Amino acid sequence: MIKAIKASKSEKILFIFLIGLFIFAFTSFFLLKNKCLFVEKNNLNKLKFNKPNNIAVMNVECGNVIIELYPDISPKAVERFKILIEQKKYDGSAFYKVSKNTFVQAGDIEYGNINNLDYSKIGSGESGLGLLKSELSNDFIFTEGSVGFARTTEFDTEDSEFFITLKEIPIYQGEYTPIGKVIYGLDILKTIKKGNKAIYVLRPDYINTFRMFKFN
């Protein structure tokens, strides 16, 4: 005859603890690992824009980042940016340079694309469209979400790379060509993968698609 053994009080506590631990581990693995979980998605069908011609939509892992371009401030830079978007050159572009809560940078078409990522040359690639003259503005303040054309240490070397600020960076005023500002989706950009104590990112996140907004 098999005698039923009752669990002691400490065994019951241990059992409950193990169940709790399992639930925590499960939640952490499937939910918290998802960096996009608490990021607000932007539904393009529900948004209205004053200047739809100047709206660009950058789709990344966590959703759409919506950027208003400023051709009145930097006509040549915006024209170049639109050309590259129309030619789908930014699709698959790596956010290879990310400074935590400071800025993200992408747009190296030659060496920074998912199909051709060259760590030794990234940041030096060219679009093939030639260099642009810097269009600096002493009035444009690089507040959170500002989009600027990147350049080398010299002015007039803008090509295709761009950065987006994740905080106000006053020292960039008059230093970089402003292209526009993020009007929706800044939180999405804050989920972009950062480097480990470094500004350059190994195995970076990518732009899925980058398109001009289509409106009826």
**Is residue 130 part of the contact set for other proteins (CB under 8 A)?**
no
Q: What angle do CA 211, 108, 125 make, to 5 degrees?
A: 140
Mention every residue, 6+ apart, whose C-beta is less than 8 A from residue 103: 97, 163, 164, 165, 166, 169
**Is residue 203 part of the contact set for other proteins (CB under 8 A)?**
no
Pick the closest to residue 104 from 182, 183, 39, 211 (CA basis): 182
Q: How far is the CB of 189 from other proteins (least distance, A)?
A: 15
Stretch that binds other proteins, among 27-35, 55-63, 86-94, 96-104 (CB under 8 A): 96-104
The number of helices, as runs of H, and strands, as runs of E, in the chain is 3, 10
Q: Tell me which residues in 164-183 interact with other proteins (CB under 8 A).
A: 169-172, 174-175
Q: Tell me which residues in 12-71 interact with other proteins (CB under 8 A).
A: none
CA distance 145 to 103: 9
Q: How many CA atoms lie within 13 A of 145 on its CB side?
A: 13
Nearer to other proteins, 95 or 213 (CB): 95
Amino acid at 88: K
Count of residues of this chain found to bind other proteins when the rule CB under 8 A is applied: 18
Nearer to other proteins, 44 or 144 (CB): 144
Among 200, 209, 211, 212, binds other proteins (CB under 8 A): 200
Q: How far is the CB of 113 from other proteins (least distance, A)?
A: 19
Name the residues that contact other proteins, by CB under 8 A.
99, 102-103, 119, 153, 169-172, 174-175, 195-200, 202
